[in-house]
Structure 1
Amino acid sequence: MTTPSDLLAFLDAAARQPRSVGAIAPSGPALCRRLAQIVPRTHVSTVVELGAGTGSVSDAIGRRLLPGSRHLAVEIDERLADRLRARRPDLDVVVADAADLRAILRERGVHRVDAVVSGLPWSLFPAAVQQRILTAVADVLAPGAGFATFAYLHALPLAGARGLRRLLDDTFDEVVASASVWRNLPPALTYTCRRPTARSTWATPCVPTAYPAWL
């Protein structure tokens, strides 16, 4: 649940980095739950969250993770990252650009992940940045893993949102758009994506995620 202090922290980040924060408030509970459904509840897993912000989606992810799972939260804003570390010491919070996802995981000895959840403001990114991030996401997903992100309804006609949908269709074999989440400010829909259509060879074969290498 978003608290007044969460909202203030979010607005502060938006004022300092308007090109990195594309919303007027943190994601609401209904949208957070929808995004977190990509997180498996059948086995110990590794989950990456891109653009963790104040942690509203982080909390929804945490409620689905089994004991022994790993949750890596990537946030480019240092103040938000520090705040999230203080509030959720169980998270592995890293201040970094989501486009550097492969290097971030490599530094931690992780080669494949079971889910990636994104809270990034796609419509603010140029096409080249969108593609770089999605390529990195596709590269790190384990077989059967999925990627979830969202778009605001009012932004769907914009070039950035239309470009994102084309890139999702080019990057994944399956892209499913949800029904509108009206109980969010602003209203949104989610995209659930599976089966990347191509992979690079950046990573070595991974240890099955049911037996995490860090345990």
Structure 2
Amino acid sequence: MKTDLGVFLKAAMRRPAVIGAFAPTSEILAAQLVEVVPRRGAPTVLELGPGTGAVSGLIRSRLPDDARYLAVEVDRAMVDHLTVTRPWLEVLHMSAAELGSRIGAGEVDAVVSALPWTLIPERTQGQIIEEVAKVLAPGGSFTTIAYLTGTSFGPGKRFRRRLGASFDEVLTTRTVWRNLPPARTYVCRRPIVP
């Protein structure tokens, strides 16, 4: 069986503009990222860009027994790896910009994302954020990683403004220095419907 790190490194070398990081998400950053995952009831949780599953196990450990856990991954090798190593995860091989075609409106209680936003074209960013807003249930939360290497420059600043225009509340968490690269998370609530 291939290791998570081996699969990640191969994917990062094969498609660096899609993977967007040079190491899997650290446990410290993952813990901060999954704080929005409900621990009670029968929630539906959606992970965007699970990669090799660095965050997936932590999400699963927080979920109650009746939860539904979906993941959207665009890289076929990572989908195959997740299917074998995390059989409890319902993996959809597709772009996050197509969520509405597979997930109903207002069905998701928490969306957790490790997508490399500054590498995604602005038009596609907009499509993904619109899809997240559609599938998010009232009272749900969307959280995503923001790598420090990109937050101070044009694409990172534009993405943060996009979040501010798309959600009533956007909280920025503390920086996790023990991640490669260092990162923080944005926690977004109450989508603004145009």
TM-score by length of 2: 0.95
CA distance in structure 1 between the partners assigned to 2:68 and 2:107 by the alignment: 12
* Alignment deviations for residues 169-210 of structure 1 (CA, whole Å, 9 cap, x no partner): 0000000000111121111000000000117xxxxxxxxxxx
Task: Give the counterpart letter for 2:142 in structure 1.
Answer: F
Taking the aligned partners of 2:42 and 2:184, their CA distance within structure 1 comes to: 28
Equivalent position SS for 2:3: helix
1:130 and 2:125 aligned: yes
Letter in 2 for 1:33: A
- The alpha carbon displacement at 1:158 in A equals 2.3
CA distance in 1, matches of 2:154, 2:101: 29
Letter in 2 for 1:60: L
The aligned runs of 1:15-94 (5 Å cut-off) are 15-94=13-92
Alignment root-mean-square deviation, CA: 1.4
CA distance in 1, matches of 2:30, 2:83: 19
**Aligned partner (choices 96, 119, 138) of residue 94 of structure 2:** 96
Distance 1:57 1:160 in 2: 25
Bigger helix fraction = 2
Runs of 4+ in 1 over 2 A off after TM superposition: none
Select which of 150, 154, 158 maps to 2:153.
158
Could you tell me the percent identity over the aligned residues? Answer: 47
The C-alpha deviation readout for 1:61-120, integer Å capped at 9, x for no partner, is 1011000111101100011111011111111011100100111214xxx75110001110
Q: Residue in 2 aligned with 1:148?
A: 143
Aligned equivalent of 1:115? 110
| 2:106–2:134 contact (8 Å) kept in structure 1 | no
TM-score by length of 1: 0.86
